Amino acid sequence: MDDLIEDLLAHPKVLETQTHLHHGIAKYEHLMRVTRYSYRIARLLKADVRVCTRAALLHDIDSRYGTLENHGAVAARWAEEQGEDSAVCLAIVGHMYPIGPAPMTREGWILSLADKAASLADLTAYVRGLVNGRSQKIKRDLQASDPFYRPRRKPKRREQLRKMLDIDI
């Protein structure tokens, strides 16, 4: 499998995902998990293994520049700019189905399935790490290193009441 994505694994944009927070873990871990799942499913269903693994590794690149519904198109545009063939880009666009557009190819369906399965595995790994505190430490480290992370400000009780009652307190 590594020979299919060797060039991408060395790309700075892929490497920087090691410091991005995604599902409570490093985005790089999620991308690699999706890549492994896509590779296995593609072989099982006799799909284009190269397209599936390359699309899987790139499916969430620059996802922060889009929304939940359209970040597949953002990642596909970036992949196209890097010279990826249209089959890889087409598979990436539909990976968020049913929230985003439906996949239009067998490889797109495989990526969508692999992404859902990997997201569940990400959550499982995160919850498992809550027991020994590992997940919280990883999350704090990633929050500190992630240039896109912005802490959510919790509204104060008075602000919540004001908003809820639509009055001036």
User: Alpha-carbon distance 164 to 45, whole Å?
Assistant: 52
User: Alpha-carbon distance 51 to 93, whole Å?
Assistant: 13
In this prediction, residues 43-63 reach a mean pLDDT of 95
**Strand ranges for the chain from DSSP E:** 21-22, 25-26
pLDDT at 168 > cutoff 60? no
Per-residue pLDDT tens over the stretch 58-70:
999 988 888 878 8
User: Alpha-carbon distance 140 to 169, whole Å?
Assistant: 36
User: Alpha-carbon distance 8 to 82, whole Å?
Assistant: 10
Q: Which domains does the chain have, with CATH numbers?
A: 2-165 (1.10.3210)
State residue 167's pLDDT score. Answer: 65
The label of the residue with tokens 């999620």 reads 30
| Whole-prediction pTM | 0.83
In this prediction, residues 19-48 reach a mean pLDDT of 94
In this prediction, residues 17-30 reach a mean pLDDT of 89
Per-residue pLDDT tens over the stretch 88-124:
999 999 999 998 899 999 999 999 999 999 999 999 8
What the block records as the tokens of 148 is 């896109």
Bridge partners of 26?
Answer: 21
The number of beta carbons lying within 10 Å of the beta carbon of residue 139 is 18
What the block records as the tokens of 126 is 């995160």
Helix runs in 21-60, H state only = 27-44, 49-58
